[in-house]
Structure 1
Amino acid sequence: MSFTKAALYTANPTTTRGVSTKLSATKEKIVYTNGKAVFIRDISNPGLGVAYTGHVQNTTVARASPTGYYVASADVTGTVRVWDTVGEDQSLKGEYKVISGRINDLEWDGESKRIIAVGDGREKFGHAFMFDTGTSTGEIIGHSKAINAVAIRHQRPFRAATAADDNLIVFHQGAPYKYDKTIKTHTKFVQDLRYAASGDHFASVGSDGKIFLYDGKTGDTLGDFAEGHKGTAYGVSWSLDGKHISTASADATVKLWDVETKKATTVYTLGSGVDYQQVGIVWSAPDTIVSVATSGDLNVFDRRTGDKPAKILLGPQRSVTAATTVDLETFFVGTADGRILSYDAGGDSSYLEGRGHSNLVAALAASPEGKIFSVGYDDRVRELDGKSFTPAEFSTSAQPKGLAVASDGTVLVGEGSVTEAVRANQKVAELKAKSPVSAIAATGSLVAIGSEDTKVRLYDWDGKAFKEVATLDGNKGTVSALAFSPDGTKLAAGDSSGKVVLYDAKEYKSITSRWSFHSARVNTLSWTADSKHCASGALDTHVYVWSVDKPMKNIAIKNAVSGGVNAVFWLKQGGGKGRLVGTGADASVRVWEVTFHA
């Protein structure tokens, strides 16, 4: 057995209300951060994502070098990591602790040799250094508050400009970089500034909604764009030819400006409300602009057509906590912020419409008829029709721990010390457990309930009541995941010690207890359609594919999901191969092509 990487669907950027989100671009791809990960997303092909997970703290900004061979990324502790984009291993080229606090922005010079990183440090707010050695290349001084942005002129003589919360822009000569002068154009926080590719000009935007243009060599102010924005302007980016700029604002608009006339040529209005505030922007191709909203949505604009986004790139913004598939092609994922997304066969995703969950999605389950049910930490069971939430809703009596659907369509919710049976949004039965419920699964009329006392209890459900038929006690920790094989003959039970025990669901006995390679809690289990292989995902970040016929044989997908695997499931299989999906803490969705027979 073996596996190959088939696709990676990236998370969307992490955003914070009132804070500028920095986007970078390299060719037809955009670079941004989410949690502890850095993602490179292909605008045209959603499956060609790249994830870098080398940071141990939350990342704040990432930018590709002008050559495109490297990415420099930074985190909240002031650490910058420079890594290789060529190849799959993203090998580390250097790691540097540059300031003593959060880094808000960084920039490469035109030779892809020097980097300036800026932010909110204790001793200093910025640092200039060589990417390969970390050697200092000057001083970044002149500010009294946290620096929000930095831009470097890519042509010699090098120049650099920094923008900060002290309402100032400081102009530096280089390299080595040294203070030249202070520019006092904005009356509020300066949020972003960028140089044109030609180096002739740079532009700045701020919380005063104003946009200013400057000479790239001298730093002299050349004027402002009179109309500006009605709200804070969080981002600015230049067209590749240097004739236009685009700006993103809290007034929920993206504006394209003619640099020569300093007037807006196109205004894109995205909506109203906090979720539609535009907090970052990048010009990724001659006619393509990408902005990010507070909601994390990435709006892709083609300046040649229309006054609306050409498309909107969606994805989880918080950890994926649950997932399921109905037709083995499309699938659904639930996230820690209560949202549920559907993915089609091509990897394009969309949010389910309607009133969803207000808190973490604890579980998703599909009925034999293809209906989908979700349960969240808002103590609600909801029904999905594939595109939206239906009005159907049921309130649980305690925080849910698991969800399953019996063959008659009854929804079974494990919560606290009870399991509730729900049909047509009404409770039809309740089973009081002998130990707090920790996992649940069902096949036909057989229901398995895992408990904190390490036991799995099997019940027969006749549509009206539960009847206990057996107790399985091969696990060594709290039973954290359960899954029946599609043919109903086997039950896999994972526990908090990392062990997966395979049981015979007909004779109520253990088949093997040798599936014990995980080193932390097993969060998820999924069977292939032929009931011959079972995949497990755990908090230890690993995924294993186990064989029923050869219990000692397995496929180990090490470090499959950074931060922990919360869900695995199988898509279509055939010809000795299957497509396995894994997702979890880093909010991305990975697909592997698994070969069962060599």
Structure 2
Amino acid sequence: MSILPSTVFPSSANTDRGRPTKITTTGNREDIVYGSGNCVIIRSVRNPLAVDVYTGHRAPCSVARISPSGYYCASGDNQGNILIWDTVNKEEHILKYQKKSFSGGIYDLCWSDDNQRICAVGDGKDKRAEVFIWDQGSTAGDLSGHTGKVLGCAMKPQRPYRLVTAGEDSMSNFYKGPPFRFEHSNRDHSRFVNSVEYSPDGSIYVTAGGDKKIFIYDGTTGQKKIEYVGSEGPDDHKMSIFSISFSPDGKQLFSCSADKTCKLWDVERAGHCLATYKFFEDPELNDTPVGTCWTSVGPVAVTLRGDIGFFNAQGSSLLPTTIFRGHNKGIQNIHVLHTDGKDYGDDSVSFVTSSFDGQFIAYNEKKGSFCGANNYVHDKQPLVASVATNDKIISIGMDGKIAFSPIGNSLKTTVATPYQTSVLERSVGLSLLLGGKYVAAAAEHKIAIYNVASNEQVAEAEVGFIVGCISTHLSGNTVVIGGADEFVHFWHFDEGTKKIVEVGKSKGRYTAPVTSVSVSSNGDRFAAARGNFIILGTLNPNTSEPGSELDETRLLHTSRITALDFSPDGARLLSAGLDCVLFVWEDHNDSEKFKKLISCHSPLGITAAKWLNNNTIVTVGTDALVRTWKI
């Protein structure tokens, strides 16, 4: 038995309100590159399942750019660190060079066409821009001249090299080199200069700013050629322009603005707008585009939420043709809709994930697509737990409310407005029973049963101890509860009388609160975790002694166990924890038969893990990534 990586469903891009987001492309424009959490994501524009992830940063990554050769990537983070690593070795991504450039964050990077010089700009006390030769560690010029944060930089892609920086001091500075020396400042903008970009042939460069204007300059001399877009025309942007990008042939420009639109411009005809795009017909604040790039399939924009949209440059559709969406906060729960291994079609939902901020995303394991997300189901309160059936997501938040959100079985639908019912203060968890007809909700001292079809509470009981975790036999009516009293408790729900009663508990204390529990698919076994220990037991719900422990205690994790789950056929058990380790136990009766996978969702650990089928596991973590593994 071995555990092999299968698929990565990446998280969404890091964004900041009011500041441009850097989303870039590889040299052949076949991949998009962006920072997400502490990771760098390299994602194919044609195949959503072709994803590469770099996890070397220890702070949120703000920008990443691939070298012209495609062999290296330079990435910067919010603490001023620059890491240069190879993109060829996808299993390891060898770190080639590392330095701390500024006391604040890195806002933009650019390469020279010989893959040697890198310009970095950002926020710092002593300096805000620098250019260096990375394989020697030496400086390649003096980039003084700005009096505020520097938001963007661009280097002429051919010799003679020229370098342009754009800053919050409303200036774009022009440098000649190498070694690069200050030549002059352009003060045509009246507000922040948010973006600067050279054309592919290096003949011109453009700047865009908070004054809603775009200017075109000569690429070699840095002299202004024309005010390309003003702020008074009917097709001009009505609010700050965050980003601008050239098409591969240099004949078109693609811009995005705080007015929630993206616009396509003809370079040769000043102020001539070819098309105006939006992410949705009625965009919200989080649908504001804050970054752009141009790929081999057309222009791309990223929203404040982190969604990545692909647009048609021919203007045949003014809405995105495709949207990539992922989580941007730590993921808490996984809900598998089908575990029988059958093919339910390319538009079916394989599993649903939910994150701490209350966002739900549904995935298709083979296609990599998703159906929509409904943020803030619980009045912007953090999510505590959630489960999913084929047509509903049931969730409970720190607001104490349990919400039933309808969801279709198509990737094209979105989570609808939820129906919220009674309050369960200090809620702990949820679990389905009786084939998904009912859901058991656990609070600190209480357990309640809800009818999933009617969204109504049908039973409630005080438990007499502090609840730590909950699990059920999906096809049966047994509820297994782990308590802070160091016992596992067994409860029985009677569908006829609509009563839930305790029928027993484990014979001995576990010497620590029970933090995770799982019941096998046929209902004959359970597994419980106390700290980093796993205890297995038999489950006999129809007897006077419903549960009894087996003799062995398994101690291989070095940190708290966050997930336990039996495979659909009951033959294997997985365990995962905050130590970033995933174990798959081949034989329940032999604690020596297991497979170990380390450095999974490092450095903060695995928050949830489930079996998709008997040979596939899906894991999630605080890195907001979703990964699948083949056994």
Superposed pair shares fold, TM > 0.5 = yes
How far apart are the structure 1 equivalents of 2:364 and 2:142?
Answer: 50
User: Among the aligned pairs, what percent are the same residue?
Assistant: 30
Aligned-pair distance for 1:353?
A: 5.7
Q: CA RMSD in A?
A: 2.0
* Structure 1 position 296, deviation (Å): 1.3
* Distance in 1 (alpha carbons) for counterparts of 2:372 and 2:552: 40
- 1:366 CA drift (Å): 4.3
Q: Partners in 2 of 1:188 and 1:391 — Cα distance?
A: 43
2-side partners of 1:476 and 1:49: how far apart? Answer: 44
1:167 alignment counterpart: 170
Paired with 1:474 and 1:69, the residues of 2 have a C-alpha distance of 56
Distance 1:6 1:571 in 2: 12
**Bigger mean CA offset, 247-256 vs 219-228:** 219-228
| Deviation readout 1:415-466 (Å, 9 max, x if unpaired) | 2222222334443333333432110011112111112233211122223121
Partner-residue secondary structure (3-state), 1:40:
strand
CA distance in 1, matches of 2:261, 2:253: 14
**Aligned equivalent of 1:430:** 460
Match of 1:254 among 258, 262, 276: 262
Match of 1:551 among 588, 591, 611: 591
CA distance in 1, matches of 2:399, 2:479: 25
Amino acid at match of 2:180: Y
* Correspondent of 1:420 among 445, 448, 453: 448
Which of 612, 620, 624 in structure 2 is aligned with 1:583?
A: 620
- Tell me the alpha carbon deviations over residues 265-316 of structure 1, each in whole angstroms, 9 at most, x when there is no partner: 222133433122110000112x511100112111101213432221111111
Letter in 2 for 1:121: G
- Note if 1:365 corresponds to 2:365: no
Native 8 Å contact 1:253 1:269 kept in 2? yes
What does residue 48 of structure 2 align with? Answer: 46
Counterpart for residue 6 of structure 2: 6
Kindly state the Cα deviation for residue 78 of structure 1 after the two structures are TM-superposed.
0.6
Among 465, 482, 486, the alignment partner of 1:454 is 486
Match for residue 411 of structure 2? none
* Paired amino acid for 2:225: L
* 2:525 corresponds to 1:490: yes
Q: C-alpha separation between the residues in 2 aligned to 1:144 and 1:512?
A: 70
Match of 1:392 in 2: 419
| Structure 1 alignment gaps of length 5 or more | none
Alpha-carbon distance, 1:136 to partner: 1.4
- Could you say if the C-alpha distance between residues 119 and 352 of structure 1 is closer, same or farther in structure 2, counting changes exceeding 3 Å? closer
Residue equivalent to 1:501: 535
The one-letter amino acid of 2:427's match is: P
CA distance in 2, matches of 1:536, 1:359: 29
Aligned-partner Cα distance in 1 for 2:168–2:58: 27
Q: Does 1:525 align with 2:544?
A: no
Q: Deviations over 1:375-406 (max 9, x none)?
A: 22232222244333464322333132111122
2:360 is matched with 340
Give the corresponding residue for 1:238.
246
Bigger drift between 421-430 and 555-564 goes to: 421-430
1:214 lines up with 2:217 in the alignment: yes
Q: Does 1:85 align with 2:107?
A: no
2:221 alignment partner AA: T
CA contact (8 A) 2:72 2:85 kept: yes
In the alignment, does 2:572 pair up with 1:572?
no
From 280, 288, 298, the equivalent of 1:288 is 298
Query: Aligned equivalents of 2:275 and 2:416: distance in 1?
Result: 36
Query: 1:241, 1:488 → 2: CA distance?
Result: 63
Q: CA deviation at 1:242?
A: 1.3
The answer to whether the Cα contact below 8 Å between 1:475 and 1:493 also exists between their aligned partners in 2 is: no
Q: Is the 8 A contact 2:196 2:206 kept in 1?
A: yes
What CA distance in whole angstroms lies between the structure 1 residues aligned with 2:417 and 2:551? 42
Assess if the C-alpha contact under 8 Å between 1:399 and 1:416 holds in 2: yes
Q: Is 1:406 the equivalent of 2:428?
A: no
Aligned residue among 279, 288, 302 for 2:290? 279
Letter in 2 for 1:373: I
Aligned-pair distance for 1:219?
0.6
Q: Is contact 2:143-2:182 (8 Å) kept?
A: yes
Which runs of structure 2 are paired with 1:285-364 in the superposition (5 Å)?
285=296, 287-304=297-314, 305-328=316-339, 330-345=350-365, 346-352=367-373, 356-357=377-378, 358-364=380-386
Q: Which residue of 2 aligns with 1:445?
A: 477
Q: Note the C-alpha offset of 1:592.
A: 0.9
The answer on whether the counterparts of 1:383 and 1:389 sit within 8 Å (CA) in structure 2 is: no
How far is the alpha carbon of 1:410 from its aligned partner? Answer: 2.9
Measured in 2, the distance between the counterparts of 1:564 and 1:359 equals 23
Q: 1:458 & 1:420 partners in 2: Cα distance?
A: 14
Which of residues 494, 499, 513 in structure 2 aligns to 1:478? Answer: 513
CA distance, structure 1, for counterparts of residue 110 and residue 126 of structure 2: 20
Q: Match for residue 535 of structure 1?
A: 574
Cα distance, 1:138 vs structure 2: 1.3
1:354·1:390 contact (CA, 8 Å) conserved in 2?
Answer: no
Q: 1:472 to 1:179 in 2, by over 3 A?
A: farther
The aligned counterpart of 1:58 is: 60
CA distance in 2, matches of 1:515, 1:52: 33
**Residue 286 of structure 2 aligns to a residue in which SS?**
helix
Residues 295, 372 of structure 1: CA spacing in aligned structure 2 closer, same or farther, 3 A cutoff? closer
Partner secondary structure for residue 12 of structure 1: coil
| TM-score, reference length from structure 2 | 0.89
Aligned partner letter, 2:484 = E
Instruction: Give the drift of 1:207.
Output: 0.7
Query: Does the CA contact (< 8 Å) of 1:253 and 1:277 recur in 2?
Result: yes
Deviation at 1:372, TM superposition (A): 4.1
